[in-house]
Structure 1
Amino acid sequence: MTASGPASQTTSVALDHASHAEHGHQATLEDGLDFVNTLEHERGHSQDHLSSMAAALDWLGQHDLMHEEAHRELVERFSDDEEGAQRVLARVHRVRAAMRELVDASVARRPPEGRALERINRILRAPYSYYLVPSHDGVSLDHRHEGDPVEGALARLAESIAREVSQGHPERLRICADEECRWVFHDTSP
């Protein structure tokens, strides 16, 4: 992965996912799967836990996918802009549906639908830059959000699923065996 620093210098940084997750704002596989599961299908009924922009922002904030200040600013902005809130919420739902399709396709061992792939690839381009910065014991990895904080959070969630299906252990992704349930999870059994 490359990161642009001051004065347009580019530094190649090898990220250790486990240590980077501790840094904050990085989505784990569990975060990505939890996000997909915010739309529950059980016993013929659906429940959307992200039914409002406020609920979506709260979910992203509770999962440490955006800074508290950005969360507060967006809650305030969208409380006065219902049309904008609905537009962004629709994008959140579309990305979640695309992530769901990525998991479903992986479990079924088939290619995902083209539209879902396009949507995932589009959101993965959200600007999120990594920088090496001096620290008391050498250097540490820092980040900067450039652009919309919701898109950045969605990009990190999509990346968690994309990384698993392309480089991880997609054979461990599962969908609840009960036909009335669509819960997705990562099977950690031996």
Structure 2
Amino acid sequence: MATLDVIVDFLNTVDRRTFSRHGETHVAAEHLTSPRALADWLAAHGLPGADGPLRPADLNATVALRTALRRVLAGEPDGTAALTDCPLRLVPEPSGGLRIAARSGRAWLDEIVETVAQGAARGDWRRVRLCAAPDCRWAFHDTSRSGRGRWCAMEICGNRQKTRTYRERHQGAR
């Protein structure tokens, strides 16, 4: 079973960061550019599906799920509509227990959806966030004690945002 950290890596297969740091501009990028790139990402993260040939439809379904999850994290109202393609049900275990199961027909998507659903049920999903910096939006797993982290990295995005706010406040006072 995947972890929420794998889900965060999945969410970051699209990189929206456009800020500059130490004179170097970060360029936004899409990492799932082909079925082969998807297969490589799945293999690197130990998810099922990398062993067989993937088709463009598999890539499209994967990108659609990632987009829907990022929209939900961003608080966009249309994000939840896209998740209706990911139905869940309870499946009996041989031990007599139950587990949450997805049935998309794509094993890696099922594992991602099941991990998100279990995280939501445990309350862990609320600690997965998008960075509050508008020129970043990197997904991160908030491990702060209070659970109210806003930036993917305080020393980068948090510092830039606080410096920006300080400068705006002091320019307005002049």
TM range (shorter): 0.5 to 0.7
Q: Confirm whether residue 103 of structure 1 aligns to residue 73 of structure 2.
A: yes
Q: Is the 8 A contact 1:128 1:152 kept in 2?
A: no
* Aligned length, in residue pairs: 137
Q: Confirm whether residue 183 of structure 1 aligns to residue 138 of structure 2.
A: yes
Aligned residue number for residue 158 of structure 1: 113
Q: Confirm whether residue 33 of structure 1 aligns to residue 47 of structure 2.
A: no
Aligned-partner residue type, residue 181 of structure 1: C
The aligned runs of 1:13-162 (5 Å cut-off) are 26-43=1-18, 45-66=27-48, 70-72=49-51, 74-75=52-53, 78=54, 85-105=55-75, 112-113=77-78, 116-125=79-88, 131-132=93-94, 148=105, 151-162=106-117
Aligned-partner residue type, residue 45 of structure 2: H
Q: Specify which structure has the bigger relative contact order, considering alpha-carbon pairs within 8 angstroms and separated by 6 or more residues.
A: 1
User: Secondary structure, in 3 states, of the residue corresponding to 2:74?
Assistant: helix
The structure with the largest alpha-carbon Rg is 2
2-structure distance, mates of 1:156, 1:173: 17
Aligned residue number for residue 21 of structure 1: none
Structure 1 segments unaligned to the other structure (5+ residues): 1-25, 79-84, 106-110, 134-138
Q: Is the 8 A contact 2:16 2:136 kept in 1?
A: yes
Q: Which deviations, in whole Å up to 9, do the C-alpha atoms of 1:3-48 show, x marking residues without a partner?
A: xxxxxxxxxxxxxxxxxxxxxxx12111111101100011174311
Aligned residue number for residue 5 of structure 1: none
The aligned runs of 1:5-16 (5 Å cut-off) are none
Aligned-partner residue type, residue 99 of structure 1: L
Q: CA 1:170–1:123 in structure 2 vs 1: closer, same or farther (change >3 Å)? A: closer
Q: Is the 8 A contact 1:35 1:96 kept in 2?
A: yes
2-structure distance, mates of 1:170, 1:112: 17
2-structure distance, mates of 1:30, 1:124: 22
* Higher strand residue share: 1
What's the TM-score once normalised by structure 2's chain length?
0.62
RMSD across aligned positions (CA): 3.4
User: Secondary structure, in 3 states, of the residue corresponding to 2:94?
Assistant: strand
Structure 2 segments unaligned to the other structure (5+ residues): 20-26, 146-174
Q: CA 1:37–1:128 in structure 2 vs 1: closer, same or farther (change >3 Å)? A: farther
Aligned-partner residue type, residue 70 of structure 2: R
Q: Which deviations, in whole Å up to 9, do the C-alpha atoms of 1:74-107 show, x marking residues without a partner?
A: 23xx4xxxxxx222211111111011112222xx
User: Secondary structure, in 3 states, of the residue corresponding to 1:179?
Assistant: coil
Q: Is the 8 A contact 1:129 1:146 kept in 2?
A: no
Aligned-partner residue type, residue 116 of structure 2: I
Deviation at 1:129, TM superposition (A): 6.0
